Amino acid sequence: MNTLRYPVLMILSFMLLCGCGSPHGKPGKEAEILAPDQIMDFAILYGENCAGCHGAEGRGGAAIALADPVYLAIADDASIRNATANGVRGTAMPAFAQSAGGMLTDKQIDLITSQIRSRWGRPGFLNSANPPSYSAKSAGNPAQGALAYNTYCESCHGPGGHGGAKGSSIADPAFLALVSDQGLRTVIITGRPELGAPDWRANIPGKPISDQEITDVVAWLASQRAQSAPHANSTSNTTQHQESTNAR
Ligand code: HEC
Ligand code: HEC
């Protein structure tokens, strides 16, 4: 027979020929080829699915650092798992759960999210710092937010949020269209330590921005998104069908 017409057979015979280290016995454990949904190794799962955006060691990527003890102190397990499983609608963060159109099993998502905390978190890290809550407690007041912006953020991100000497434009419609309100809130609380962006305590040394002021600044930024691109944060993702509760 023409073996070229049977590539699968060729691969199988190659595997048999090479014997994978034990020609006369059962193949050794290392010879087992795992189906993608059987992989239960954090380094492989994180490296293949997350590192491209969140950085090889959980930091230094385009998206927020997950290996940030400040982030892991404010975000609870359910929020981290929900974002990973269902994605963040209207942003680059994809849904990974098979139930949401992704490729990972529930067990794999449990493994990734629990190990993000066990590897990169520091228990009790912000215990005495009274951090702002992860989720906003109210809708926020854009006018108050503009004032808080001037106090805490303008020194770096420039007048009106259009960019300054020490920070990029964050009022740019193209930026706001791709970030969720929670994404803005998270980065205001955590900063981007690897990029020199301060966390909520350090915009003004000794004067932490309050929970309410963060809520208001996010409302102010979001109001500019609404004006310039009315549906920017509610556009449905064309490849994934996610719960509407992920929109914020
Ligand atoms: C294509 C880029 C991309 C990939 C791949 C990706 N992320 Fe994300 N991720 C993002 C972006 C962008 C955000 C911020 C979304 C927003 O604006 O809220 C985000 C947000 C998150 C959040 C929520 C952060 C918060 O505000 O609480 C978690 C948790 C997260 N990602 C985990 C993961 C994990 C775990 C993986 C791999 C299984 C992964 N991400 C893969 C881009 C990505
Ligand atoms: C000491 C300077 C400084 C201050 C003060 C500061 N930031 Fe930043 N911020 C940065 C830097 C640096 C970055 C990362 C690089 C960039 O995007 O410019 C950043 C990033 C961000 C990002 C993410 C941008 C992105 O591309 O993902 C947002 C949103 C943001 N800052 C909002 C704020 C808000 C709101 C405040 C006030 C509460 C604030 N920042 C205060 C320096 C600052």
Structural domains of the chain in order of their starting residue, each with its CATH number: 39-120 (1.10.760.10), 142-240 (1.10.760.10)
- The reported pLDDT for the residue numbered 95 is 98
pTM of the model: 0.85
Rounded Cα distance, 90 and 237, in Å? 6
SS3 content of the chain, % helix, strand, coil (to 5): 50, 0, 45
Mean pLDDT of the chain: 85
Tell me the average pLDDT across 149-175. Answer: 95
- The reported pLDDT for the residue numbered 33 is 85
**Integer angstrom CA distances of residue 132 from 32, 40, 98, 125, 196:** 48, 34, 33, 14, 20
Residues near 191 by beta carbon (within 8 Å), at least 6 away in sequence? 70, 197, 198, 199, 200, 202
Question: If pLDDT is split at 50, 70 and 90, which confidence band does 226 have?
Answer: low
Tell me the average pLDDT across 22-49. Answer: 78
Rounded Cα distance, 49 and 116, in Å? 13
Checking if the pLDDT of 97 tops 50, the result is yes
> Does any ligand 1 atom lie closer than 6 A to the CB of residue 224?
no
> Does any ligand 1 atom lie closer than 6 A to the CB of residue 83?
yes
Task: State the ligand closest to the CA atom of 202.
Answer: 2
Per the listing, tokens 């942003």 go with 91
> For ligand 1, what atom is nearest to the CA of residue 179?
17
Considering only the C-alpha atoms of the chain, give the largest distance between any 2 of them, rounded to a whole number of Å.
79
SS (H, E, C) 72-105: HHHCCHHHHHHHHHHCCCCCCCCCCEHHHCCCEC
- The reported pLDDT for the residue numbered 32 is 72
Query: Counting runs of H as helices and runs of E as strands, what totals does the chain give?
Result: 11, 0
- The reported pLDDT for the residue numbered 227 is 56
Tell me the average pLDDT across 161-185. Answer: 95
Q: How far is the CA of 234 from the centre of ligand 2 (A)?
A: 24
Tell me the average pLDDT across 57-82. Answer: 97
Checking if the pLDDT of 156 tops 90, the result is yes
Residues near 186 by beta carbon (within 8 Å), at least 6 away in sequence? 64, 71, 74, 75, 134
Rounded Cα distance, 2 and 57, in Å? 47
DSSP 197: B
